[in-house]
Structure 1
Amino acid sequence: MAAPLGPTPPKAHDGLPPRERVLAMAAISLAMTMAVLDGAIVNVALPVMAKDLAVPPSAAIFVVNGYQIAVTAALLPFASLGDILGYRRVYLSGLAVFVAASLACALSPNLSVLIAARIAQGLGAAGIMSVNIALVRFVYPNRMIGRGVGNVALVVAMASAAGPTVAAAILSVASWPWLFLVNLPVGLVALLVASRTLPVTPRSRARFDLPSALLNAVTFGLLIIGIDGLGEEAGRGVALAEIAGALAVGTVLVLYQLRLPVPLLPVDLLRIPAFALSMATSIASFGSQMIAYLALPFYLQDVLHLSETRTGFLMTPWPIAIALMAPISGRLSDRFPPGILGGIGLAVMAAGLTGLALLPAEPTTFDIVWRLTVCGFGFGMFQSPNNRVILTSAPRERSGGASGMQSTARLTGQSLGAAWVAVLFGLTHGTGAERAIAFSLWSAVALAVFGGVASVLRRQPEG
C-alpha cells in the first residue's frame, strides 16, 4: 500500500518526492494566481463598482489602494512569522484569510465594508506572497531551485497578463461580486492540496517583534499613499509630506533593526553583496517595466489613436514573452551564473525599450509587437535568475526574510515606476503626451541599464 500524502517533516531538506512536489507547486500556483489576479482585475471593475455602490470614482479607488497598502505593509512581518512559525503555517493561514475575505468582498453591502474586506484580502495575499519563494526552497531539491523559481515567475507573468481579460470576461456575463466569488472554489481546492503536500519547515527560536512590525507598517503605508498621491497636482504637497514622513519613520525602523540579532526588516541580509545587489536589480527592473506598462497605453491611444481593445492586444506580447522565457531562464540559472544571465536579460530589455523610444512616426503593428516581445524576453531572462540569487544567497533559516524582501522589492519598484510616470505627465501637462511618453521610456531604459550593471557585479556564494 502506498504511503498517504501528508506534510513532509523538517528533516527532508532537499526537496519533496516528485509526486508531492507537483501537487505542492500546484497549490502554490493556484494561490499565487488568485493573489496576483486580484491585484489587477479590480481596476477594470472600478467604474462599475462606483456606480453600483453610488459613490464617486475618487472614493472607489480606495478599493484598490486598501489592498495594495495591506499587501505591502504586511509582507515583511508575515515573512518574519514564517521564519518563526514555519512557512507552511503562514501560507495556509494567508490562503484561508484570502478566501474568507473574498466572500466578504462579494457580499459587501456598501463601500466601507468592501474596503475593509479588501484590506483583509490584502493581508491574506501578503501571507501567500511573503513565503511562496521560501517554500520553493523546501519543495525543490537544491539542484532544481532555479526551475522552481522559474515556475513561480511563469505563474506571476501569466496571471498578470490574464488580469484584464479575466475581469472583462466575468463582467460580460455576471456582476462585479463574481470577481471575488470565483476565488472560493479555487481557494478551497488550493487549501486542500496545500494542507496535504506543503512541507513542514524548520522554525527559528526568535520572537515576533511587534514594534518593528508597527514601524514597518507605518513606513510602507505612508510611502504607498504618498506615491499614489504624486499624480494629483492639487494634493502633491500632502503626498510629499507623506513620503517625508515615511522616510523619517523608515530611518527609525532601520536604526532599530541594526540593534537586533534577527531583524524583521532583514538589514543584515543586505550586508551580503549578492543579496543587496539583487534587491537593487529587482527594484530597478520592476520600476522600468512599470514605467513602460503605464506610458505605452497613452502612446497607443493618445498618439496613435488606437482603441482600448487594440491597445490591450498590442500590449499582450510582453507578458507572453515573460511567461515563455521565465521557466527556461530558471533552468539555465541552475547551470550558469545567475548574475550574468540577469545582466544579459536586462540588456535585452533595455534594447527593446530603446527600440520603443525610437519608434517611427507611423509604426506598423509589427514594429510595435517585436519590440514589446524583445522587452518581455529580456525581463523573463532576468527575473528567474535574480529571484534564485535572492533566495540562495540568504541562509536557509532566513528564507522567509529573503522571500519577503523579494516581494517588497517588486512592489516598491512598481510603485516608484508608477509615481515617476504620474509626475512626468503632471509636469508636461498641456504640452502634449509625446514628451511625457518619451521621457518615461528613456527613464525605463536607464533603469534597465542600471539593473543590468548591478546584476553582473554580483558574486553569489555557492551552497
Structure 2
Amino acid sequence: MSDRASLNHARDQPHAFPAQASPCDDLAIRAQPAAGIPCRRKRLALGATILGSSMAFIDGSVVNVALPAIQTELGASVAAMQWVVNAYLLLLGSLVLVGGALGDKLGRRTVFVAGIVLFTAASAACGLAPEPAALIAARAVQGAGAALLVPSSLAIIGAVFDERERGRAIGTWAGFGAITSALGPVAGGWLVDAFSWRAIFYLNVPIAVVTVALALSSIPVSRGSSAAQRLDWPGALTAALGLGLLTYGLTLASSHGFTDEIVIGMIAGGLALCAAFVAIEARSQDPMMPLDVFHSRDFSGANLVTLLLYFGLGGALFFLPFTLIRAHGYTATQAGAALLPVPVVIGVLSRFTGGLAVRYGTRRLLTVGPVIAAAGFALLALPGWLDIDRARYWTSFFPALAVLGLGMTITVAPLTTAVMTSVATARTGVASGINNAVARIASLLAIAVLGIVFVWSHNAALSERLEQLNIPADLHREGQLAPDMMTGAHAVPAEIVAAQSDAIDAGLRAVALVSALCALLGAACAAVTIRGQQKPQSEQ
C-alpha cells in the first residue's frame, strides 16, 4: 500500500472519542515491518497495542464522570478537580513527542512496556490516594506513562505489519479506540456507582498484566531509523514547566482574580517559558517540534483549527458531567451514558463522511464542520434546555450532543488530511505528532480558562438568585462557595440547593457559549488559511 493509499484508508476509519484522541493519532506510524512474523503473533501484538492504548483513552474520558464522587470523598475544591484532569493532560501533551522518539531510540517494545508499567503503578497510586494532592501527583505520572505507551503502540503496528496489512490493522486499532473511548464513561460511571471512584483506577491493573504478557511474547524488538538522534529533553521540560505555570496561574485566577500577584507571576512565567521553548526549538539540532513545518500555511491553519475546536470540546465535555450530576441528580452511570451521542454519531457516520474531502475539498469541510459543532454547543446554551428533568433528555441534551457529534465527524477526517498533505512525506510523522500534542494542550488550556468562565458565571448567577430570594447574608456567603461546597456533606436549605443548581446551569451555558465562539473562530481560520495545497509531485 502506498503512502497515499495508506493515508486515504486511515482517513476513512472511525476515530476515537474526540475529547481524548487527536485527529492524527492513527497516522503517526513510521516504521519498517519486521519480516517473517507469524500471523498469530501479529494478532497478539495488535491486541497488546489495542489494550495498552485503550487504557490511556479510557482514563482520558472516564475520570470526568467520577469527579463529583472524588470531590465528595476527598473534600476537594473545583480547582483541585481541574488539576486531576489537567495533570494528566499536561504531562501527556508535553512528552508525547519525546515518547515517540524514545521508542525509536531505545526500542518500541521496551518503551511500550515501560509506559504500561509506569501507567499502571500510577493508576494504583491514584486508587490509594488519601488526599487531592496525592491524586494529582499520581495523575501526572499517569500522563507520563501514557506519553510513552501511546506513540509506541502506533509505531509497533508499523513494525509488525507490512504495507499490505497495515491499513486493516490501523482500522482495527482505530475502531477499538472509538469503542473503548465511547463506552469508557458509561462503564466508569457504573464502577463509581456500584463500588467507588477508586475502582476506575484499579481496573487498569489486570488489563496491564495481560498487556505486558502479550507484548513480551508477541512484539518483536525494533528501533526507528532516527535512533541516533538526540532526545530533546530541554524542549520537553521547558514546554511542560511553561504550560504548567500558565495553567496553574489561570486556575488560580478563577478564585483570586487577575490582579493577584501570584496569578500575574505564574502567567507571566508560563508565557516566558513558552517563548523560551520556541527559542530552544529554533536552535536545536534535533527539535521535538521543528518550526519549519509551520512554514506551510495549510499546516499552521489546520493546527489553529485543532486548537480552537478541541479547546471548546475539551471544556464543554469536562463541565457537562459535573452539571448533570450536581444540578440534575444524574448518577455517574447516567452522566456517562448521556455523552454517548457524540462518539456514536462519529462512529456511525465517519465511514460515510471520510471521502467528502476528496469531493468538496478540505477548506469547505473545515469551514462547515466547525460551524455545525458551534450549533451543537449553542444548543446547550439555550435558556430552558437545562432546566429540565431527566425524562426530557431526548428533547434537550440529545439533540445538542448529536449535532456536536455531526460537526466533529465532518471536521476530523479533512483535518487529518490537511495536516498530512501539507508537509513532505518524510515529515508526516512529525506533523501528526505535533497535531496530536496541540489537541491535548487545547484541552489542558480549556479546562483552566473555561474554569474561570464557569466559576465567575456561577457566582454571578447565584448572587442574583439569592438576592431575589432575600437569603440572609451569612447563607449568601455560604452559597457563593457552591462549586466547592456541593459535596452533600452540609445541610443546606432547599432554596439554596435550588439556587445552586440554577447557578451551575448558568455556568455551563457560559462555557457552551464560549465553546461555540471558539468553534466559529476555527471555521473562520479554516476559510482564511486552508488552501488545500498538495505535496510536491515528487513527494506524491
What TM-score range do you get, normalising by the shorter chain? 0.7 to 0.9
User: For 1:336 and 1:21, how far apart are their aligned partners in 2?
Assistant: 37
Q: Does residue 129 of structure 1 match 2:150?
A: yes
Find the partner of 1:379 among 408, 412, 415: 408
Report 1:349-368 matches (<5 A). Answer: 349-356=373-380, 365-366=394-395, 368=397
Matched, 1:439 2:513: yes
Over 3 Å counting, the alpha-carbon distance change for 1:248 and 1:349 in structure 2 is: same
Pick aligned residue for 1:449 from 523, 527, 533: 523
Partners of 1:103 and 1:91 in 2: CA distance: 18
Q: 1:231 aligns with which of 249, 254, 261?
A: 254
Please tell me whether residue 170 in structure 1 is matched to residue 170 in structure 2. Answer: no
* Residue of 281, 285, 300 corresponding to 2:309: 285
SS in structure 2 at match of 1:207: coil
Q: Note the C-alpha offset of 1:430.
A: 1.8
Which residue is equivalent to 2:460? 430
Q: State the one-letter code of the partner of 2:237.
A: L
Displacement, 1:264? 1.9
Of 90, 98, 101 in structure 1, the residue corresponding to residue 111 of structure 2 is 90
Greater C-alpha radius of gyration:
2
C-alpha separation in 1, matches of 2:75 and 2:212: 35
Aligned partners of 1:69 and 1:220 also within 8 Å: yes
Residue pair 1:36, 1:156 contacting (<8 A) in 2 also: yes
Greater CA drift, 215-224 or 390-399: 390-399
Whether 1:265 aligns to 2:289 is yes
- Output one character per residue of 1:407-448: Cα deviation in whole Å (capped at 9) or x when no partner: 321122223333443333355442462872563354144234
Q: 1:48 to 1:70 in 2, by over 3 A?
A: same
Using the TM superposition, give the Cα deviation of residue 299 of structure 1 relative to its aligned residue in structure 2, in angstroms.
8.0
Equivalent-residue separation in structure 1 for 2:68 and 2:62 (angstroms): 12
Q: For 1:397-416, what aligned pairs fall within 5 Å after superposition?
A: 398=427, 401-416=430-445
Maintained 8 Å contact 1:345/1:378: yes
Number of the residue aligned with 1:200 = 222
- Name structure 2 gaps, 5 residues minimum: 1-29, 462-502
CA 1:44 to 1:235, structure 2 compared with 1: closer, same or farther past 3 Å?
farther
CA deviations on 1:226-250 (whole Å, 9 max, x unpaired) are 3433433457733443232122111
**2:202 matched to 1:181?**
yes
Q: Which residue of 1 aligns with 2:298?
A: 274
| Equivalent position of 1:320 in the other structure | 344
| Structure 1 unaligned regions, length at least 5 | 1-8
Structure 1 position 38, deviation (Å): 1.9
Question: CA offsets per residue over residues 100-140 of structure 1, 9 Å max, x none?
Answer: 33334445566665544333222101112345555566667
More deviation in 428-437 or 274-283? 428-437
The residue identity in structure 2 corresponding to 1:90 is V
Q: Secondary structure at the match of 2:311?
A: helix
Query: Which AA in structure 2 matches 1:449?
Result: A
Q: Are the counterparts in 2 of residues 340 and 456 from structure 1 also a CA contact under 8 Å?
A: no
Q: Is the 8 A contact 1:281 1:455 kept in 2?
A: no
| Equivalent residue for 1:79, pick from 100, 107, 111 | 100
- Which residue identity does 1:206 align to in structure 2? Q
Q: State the 1:263 CA deviation.
A: 1.0
Aligned with 1:261: secondary structure?
A: coil
- Residue by residue, what CA displacement relative to the aligned partner does 1:353-386 show, whole Å, maximum 9, x if unpaired? 4555567778963354234212202202322442
Pair 1:326–1:94, CA change in 2 (3 A): farther
Task: State the TM-score, normalized to the length of structure 1.
Answer: 0.78
In 2, the alpha carbon distance for the partners of 1:71 and 1:236 equals 31
Aligned-pair CA distance for 1:197: 4.0
**For residues 277 and 20 of structure 1, do their structure 2 counterparts lie closer, same or farther at Cα, with a shift above 3 Å needed?**
farther
Alignment root-mean-square deviation, CA? 4.2
Q: Larger deviation: 242-251 or 194-203?
A: 194-203
Change (3 A) 1:424 1:58: closer
Shift of 1:187: 1.9
Number of matched pairs: 452
- C-alpha distance in structure 2 between counterparts of 1:294 and 1:116, whole Å: 20
> Is contact 1:74–1:126 with CA below 8 Å preserved after alignment?
yes
After the TM superposition, which residues 103-182 of structure 1 pair with which residues of structure 2 at under 5 Å, given as runs? 103-107=124-128, 114-132=135-153, 154-182=175-203
Q: Determine the structure 1 residue equivalent to 2:13.
A: none
1:41 aligns with 2:41: no
- Are 2:311 and 2:515, in contact at CA under 8 Å, matched by a contact in 1? no
Instruction: Identify if the C-alpha distance between structure 1 residues 398 and 262 changes in structure 2 by more than 3 Å, giving closer, same or farther.
Output: farther
